[in-house]
């Protein structure tokens, strides 16, 4: 699968962290390319083509990490140039991609060939295979999205923590490393805390939701571990 990730060079570094983590940890059968863009401060783009990076490659899957409405407006133009089968546009801040603009982008992209699907996971770490229809989006979501842990406990403490599906920013790895030898009772709460200490770079209105996703993932893993022990 050919994946192209477009992100922006910002002081926050949200997009670059995600792009670099995916490129570093993606399955070997994937080809992952990154394109960095500068922030776009114009609220409305009269000539969008002038903002597009040069030499954009074709890809099966396009991931757009927009940190302003300027890049969000460019999504249909990027799709037209890259011709992906699927597009993933995470919404880790409503300010970067408001609902109204999201609906406009969806309508424009759905008219373009050969794109079958555009999805807007909010936050990015909520993405699952079940929320995707395209084969390429589903393949991506098998590896990156809502975190899935595999935990093994010894008595009341976690002996080992492994990751079956990682959060796109890499914080699942950070959390897993710190859960080892943690008490099972405390683990979900600590997962939410470690999530924010990583730190989570989503907008403030999103961080609570994303931290809850990490806590819930650890709870599910503990329940699965208990079932395995009883079987």
CATH number for the domain harbouring residue 54: 3.40.50
Residue 22 pLDDT more than 60?
Answer: yes
pLDDT of 207 > 50? The answer is yes
Q: Which pLDDT value is given to residue 67?
A: 96
36 and 7 in a common domain: yes
Average pLDDT over the chain, rounded to whole? 94
What are the start-end ranges of the H helices in the chain?
A: 14-25, 69-73, 75-82, 99-109, 135-143, 171-179, 187-197, 204-230
* DSSP secondary structure letter of residue 101: H
Pick the last residue of a domain from 143, 176, 191: 143
Asked if the model's pLDDT at residue 228 lies above 90, the reply is no
Q: In the predicted model, is pLDDT for residue 229 greater than 70?
A: no
- Residue range(s) defining the domain that contains residue 34: 2-143
- Mean pLDDT within 162-168: 97
Q: What is the mean pLDDT of residues 31-37?
A: 97
> Rounded mean pLDDT of 212-231?
79
Tell me if 146 sits within 8 A of 165, measured CB to CB.
Answer: yes
pLDDT of res. 188: 97
Residues 123 and 226 in one domain: no
What pLDDT score was predicted for residue 113?
94
> b/e for 172-200, b at 16 or more Cβ within 10 A?
bbbbbebbeebebeebbebbbebbeebeb
Please choose, from the candidates 227, 212, 206, 62, the residue with its C-alpha nearest in 3D space to the C-alpha of residue 147: 212
What is the arithmetic mean of pLDDT over 209-225? 94
Residue ending a domain, choose from 143, 160, 178: 143
What per-residue string of b and e applies to 131-169 under the rule 16 or more CB within 10 Å gives b? ebebebbbbbbeebbbbbbebebeeeebeebebebbbbb
Length reported for the chain: 231
Q: How far is CA 8 from the centre of its chain?
A: 15
153 shares a domain with 139: no
Please count the other Cβ atoms lying within 10 Å of the Cβ belonging to residue 90: 28
Report pTM. Answer: 0.94
Average confidence (pLDDT) over 163-183: 96
Among residues 214, 215, 229, 230, the alpha carbon closest in space to that of 154 is found at: 229
Return the CATH number at 185.
Answer: 3.90.1010
pLDDT tens digits, 68-102: 999 999 999 999 999 999 999 999 999 999 999 99
The CA R_g of the chain, rounded to the nearest whole Å, is 18
Tally the domains of the chain.
Answer: 2
What are the Cα distances from residue 41, in Å, to 38, 71, 142? 9, 9, 35
Name the pLDDT band for 226 (thresholds 50, 70, 90).
Answer: low
Nearest to 120 by CA among 134, 132, 138, 135: 132
Question: Is residue 65 scored above 90 in pLDDT?
Answer: yes
> Do 9 and 88 lie in a common domain?
yes
Q: Is the peptide bond before 19 cis (omega within 30 degrees of 0)?
A: no
Query: In this model, does residue 230 exceed pLDDT 50?
Result: no
Domain boundary among 127, 143, 159: 143
pLDDT band at 231 (very low <50, low <70, confident <90, very high): very low
| pLDDT tens digits, one per residue of 108-122 | 999 999 999 999 999
Residues 187 and 98 in one domain: no
19/131 same-domain check: yes
Same domain, 15 and 112: yes
| Token duo for residue 133 | 């229809």
pLDDT per residue over 119-157, tens digit each?
A: 999 999 999 999 999 999 999 999 999 999 999 998 899
User: Are 123 and 44 within one domain?
Assistant: yes
Average confidence (pLDDT) over 57-77: 96
Other beta carbons less than 10 A from residue 44's beta carbon: 8
User: What pLDDT does residue 46 have?
Assistant: 78
At 51 the pLDDT is: 87
């Amino acid at each position: 699968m050919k994946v192209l990730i477009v992100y922006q060079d910002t002081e926050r570094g949200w997009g670059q962290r995600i792009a670099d983590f995916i490129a570093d940890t993606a399955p070997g059968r994937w080809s992952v390319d990154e394109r960095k863009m500068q922030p776009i401060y114009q609220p409305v783009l009269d000539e969008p083509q002038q903002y597009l990076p040069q030499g954009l490659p074709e890809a099966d899957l396009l991931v757009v990490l927009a940190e302003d409405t300027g890049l969000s407006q460019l999504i249909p133009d990027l799709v037209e140039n890259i011709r992906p089968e699927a597009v993933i546009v995470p919404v880790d801040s409503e300010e970067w991609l408001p609902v109204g603009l999201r609906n406009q982008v969806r309508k424009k992209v759905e008219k373009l060939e050969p794109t079958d699907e555009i999805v807007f996971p909010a936050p990015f770490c909520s993405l699952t295979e079940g929320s995707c229809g395209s084969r390429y989006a589903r393949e991506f979501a098998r590896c990156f999205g809502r975190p899935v842990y595999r935990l093994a406990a010894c008595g009341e403490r976690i002996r080992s923590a492994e990751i079956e599906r990682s959060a796109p920013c890499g914080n699942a790895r950070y959390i897993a490393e710190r859960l080892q030898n943690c008490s099972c009772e405390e683990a979900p709460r600590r997962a939410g805390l470690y999530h924010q200490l990583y730190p989570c770079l989503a907008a403030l209105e999103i961080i609570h939701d994303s931290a809850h996703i990490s806590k819930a993932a650890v709870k599910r893993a503990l329940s699965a571990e208990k079932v395995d022990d009883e079987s």
